Structure 1
Amino acid sequence: MRNGSLLAALTVTSCLALSPALAQDADVGAELYTDYCAACHGVSGKGDGDMANVMTIPSPNLTLLSKNNDGEFPMLKVIHIIDGRTGLRAHGGPMPVFGRLFTSDGMGPENPYGSVLEVRGRVLSVALYLESLQE
Structure 2
Amino acid sequence: MRSLIIFALALAPLASGVSAQDADVGRALYHTHCATCHGLEGRGDGPMSGVLTVKPVNLTELAAANGGVFPLERVVMRIDGRDPLVSHGSPMPVYGDYFARSFDVPIKAPSGQPVMTSQPVVDLIAYLREIQKSD
Q: TM-score, normalised by structure 2?
A: 0.72
- CA distance in 2 between counterparts of 1:49 and 1:66 reads 20
Larger radius of gyration, structure 1 or 2?
1
- CA distance in 2 between counterparts of 1:90 and 1:131 reads 23
AA in 1 matched with 2:58 = N
Match of residue 33 from structure 1: 30
Q: What's the CA shift string for 1:20-68, capped at 9, x where partnerless?
A: x54xx10100000000000000000000000001101110101000000
Q: TM-score, normalised by structure 1?
A: 0.72
Match of residue 60 from structure 2: 63
Percent identical pairs in the alignment equals 44
Structure with more of its chain in helix, by fraction: 1
- CA distance in 2 between counterparts of 1:127 and 1:92 reads 22
Q: Give the length in aligned residue pairs.
A: 104
AA in 1 matched with 2:95 = F
CA RMSD of aligned residues (A): 1.8
Moved over 2 A (4+): 116-119
Q: How is 1:1-135 mapped onto 2 (pairs within 5 angstroms)?
A: 22=21, 25-105=22-102, 116-117=103-104, 120-135=118-133
- Residue ranges of structure 2 left out of the alignment (5+ in a row): 1-11, 13-19, 106-116
